[in-house]
Structure 1
Amino acid sequence: MKGLLILENGARFEGDLLGTVEGLGELVFNTGMTGYQECFTDPSYEGQILTLTYPLIGNYGANDLFMQNRKPAAAGYVLDQIADHPSNWECKEKITDFIERYHVPCLYNVDTRAVTRMVRTQGVMKAIIVSADRSEEFIQAELAKPLHRDQVERVTTAYPYTYGNGKYQVSLLDCGLKKNILVSLAANDCTVHVFPAHTSAEELLAGNPDGIFLSPGPGDPKDVPYVVDTVKKLIGKRPIFGICLGIQMLATALGGHTFKLPFGHRGSNHPVKDLRTGRVYITSQNHGYAISDEGLPDSIVVTHRSVNDGTIEGIRHKTLPIQAVQYHPEASPGPKDNFYLFAEFTKAMEEFKK
């Protein structure tokens, strides 16, 4: 079935619709060459139509072992070529079967280079994936619908649970958790107690944890003021480590500000410089907002910056055991250069206990 990707600025891109499901979302792009299933199941894409710039998708198939969440989170996918005959020893099914099983809108055989150039020059924007035979009246009605802003509520866990069996007890606030964060913490001798996003500071501290972890997640940090209020109450009580949305909520809780990037950072090869050592790490990223340098509180030290655009990628508190990064050190998908950050977190918890 023929389909269309239609942007709010009027641009239209033709393709083939996989199945009959249509969708509305914020159009973004990711430049990773692998890790498409990890991207499809990353909760940070909730409410977004994800364009993959790499032209060959599905070459190694799909496998539930690669899932980063219990189901896909994105509002739709825009792809170039989809492999009909995947080949890999871990392949369990074709990526088309995976997408259709979860009823995610998907438009393929699209000129994703042109889509990416559009977003790269004009910024992220509202878009729809629809059947090519839809009337103009239907299209305009769909484009007129507002994008929802309750992304975190849609992806957080519905109930608390525990993962791992390590020495350090960690309370994790789930605003859009990826599975490999749990795996990485458990590999660093942590028992992780996962809590829904609405959990209070008192509940997070009730089990006398050794540390607090703030997860990644979708959307604008200004849309979760209740989480920021919780973080304010946690500051100084335990060592805190935050990733992606976690760093934005920490910075906001400490008096900083965030802003929306024109087209975001989404890919698995973003260079980030550790200002403490001068070393450049290759990182996996997925975020549309960043911490502003303007009005940055004196209590915050910037530890990492993006080599591409100079935006803040890591912070530490000057006197408290608080650290956070904007990128994804758990490497799903992406390089494994940054696993050391989890070891630094366990070291902070050990020193705090002493």
Structure 2
Amino acid sequence: MYHPAGSGHGHPDSLWAAFFLEDRVARLLVIDNYDSFTYNIVQMFMQYDLDIHVHRNDKITLDQAKAYNPDYILISPGPRNPARAGISKPLIKAHYKKIPILGVCLGMQCINEVFGGKTVRSENPVHGKTSMVFHTGEHLFSNIRSPFTAARYHSLLCELSTTTDGGNPLGITAQTEDGIPMGISHRTCPLHGVQFHPESFLTESGYDLVENFLALGPLASVKRDEHTGINKPVFRGVPAGASAETAEACY
């Protein structure tokens, strides 16, 4: 919808704008950390009534992200570490208080570092293996059985910041049997991360987790179309090593 600049309060244009904004499709901004799993996760969100924009972590600015006015933000996995995740951490800092944000794998590590945590190398890297995940039943894990099976693909782990005054606003909401953090959440803001991959066919209740995340925003009672995707996302970037056909399809 075209909304002319400078239309004042009470102007017919502003009234029409208010009407259409109430009914607009919810917007999901996806930050792609150059990972092959990103588009699998995007396909999950395509099952819902969302306007999805995907941007590489070095191909969008904070101002551009703000202008998109997202209702949700997803920080994708990635093959590197939070120091090389481009806009991911600054975007979390800028929006975590008001916009629901989900970080997956590297995305969770970025959330942890924003609040003073460390990313450390695991003594036992796991790639394509499953673990039983035990959780608190809160936030992303509402109405999901504990433990459940989840797929892991990571060689780095989160070490949460510890302070003598208990000042870290993040808490662990899920972990493996041997205590490796698999989920973290902000205590008062809609900011959540998971170390495992909800999009994997090896993970139980992946769509339940996604719907719990979407419930934090305008899609409070959403259920997916189990047969076909509803929307085609707008991709701003091409997967590494993509064919010419794939590259063309991304725009």
CA gap of 1:256–1:180, structure 2 versus 1, over 3 A, is same
Contact 2:115 2:161 in 1 (8 A): no
Matched, 1:188 2:48: yes
Counterpart pick for 2:196 among 323, 327, 330:
327
- Aligned mate of 1:344, from 212, 220, 224: 212
**Given the superposition, is the C-alpha separation of residues 185 and 226 from structure 1 closer, same or farther in structure 2, using an over 3 Å criterion?**
closer
Counterpart secondary structure, 1:341 = helix
Larger Rg belongs to: 1
Offset, 1:226:
4.9
State the match for 1:140 in structure 2.
none
**Where in structure 1 are there 5+ consecutive unaligned residues?**
1-165
* Structure 1 residue 204 displacement after superposition: 1.5
**Larger RCO (alpha carbons 8 Å, 6+ apart):** 2
Map of 1:112 onto structure 2:
none
Query: Contact 2:174–2:184 at 8 Å: present in 1 too?
Result: yes
How many residues align? The count is 185
Task: State yes or no: 1:232 paired with 2:75.
Answer: no
Letter in 2 for 1:314: G
Deviations 1:82-139 (A, max 9, x none): xxxxxxxxxxxxxxxxxxxxxxxxxxxxxxxxxxxxxxxxxxxxxxxxxxxxxxxxxx
Q: Is the 8 A contact 1:272 1:313 kept in 2?
A: yes
Task: Give aligned-pair identity as a percent.
Answer: 25
Aligned pair partner of 2:125 in 240, 264, 270: 264
Helix, strand or coil at the partner of 2:205: coil
| Equivalent-residue separation in structure 1 for 2:82 and 2:69 (angstroms) | 27
2:216 and 2:133 map into 1 onto residues whose CA distance is 23
What is the TM-score normalised by the length of structure 1? 0.48
Q: State whether residues 274 and 304 of structure 1, in contact with CA within 8 Å, keep that contact through their aligned partners in structure 2.
A: yes
SS in 1 for 2:217: helix
- C-alpha displacement of 1:284: 0.9
Q: Specify the SS of the correspondent of 1:206.
A: helix
**Contact 1:232/1:254, CA 8 A, preserved across alignment:** no
Aligned 8 A contact 2:112 2:160 in 1: no
What is the RMSD computed on CA atoms of the aligned residues? 2.3
For the residue of structure 2 that corresponds to 1:184, the secondary structure is helix
User: Where in structure 2 are the equivalents of 1:19-34 lying within 5 Å?
Assistant: none
Q: 1:268 to 1:237 in 2, by over 3 A?
A: same
**1:232–1:244 Cα change, 3 Å:** same
CA distance in 2, matches of 1:286, 1:173: 19
Q: Is the 8 A contact 1:174 1:196 kept in 2?
A: yes
Query: Which of 137, 150, 165 is the aligned partner of 1:283?
Result: 150
Using the alignment, how far apart are the partners of 1:220 and 1:228 within structure 2? 11
What is the one-letter code of the residue matched to 1:243?
V
C-alpha distance in 1, partners of 2:47/2:129?
22
Q: 1:208 to 1:230 in 2, by over 3 A?
A: closer
Note the residue ranges of structure 2 that are not aligned, 5 or more in a row. 1-23, 139-144, 221-251
Hey, what does 1:303 align to over in structure 2? Answer: 173
* 1:349 Cα deviation after fit: 1.2
Q: Which amino acid counterpart does residue 64 of structure 2 have in structure 1?
A: E
| In structure 1, C-alpha distance between the alignment counterparts of 2:181 and 2:87, rounded to whole Å | 24
Deviation at 1:193, TM superposition (A): 0.4
Cα distance in 2 for partners of 1:294, 1:242 equals 17
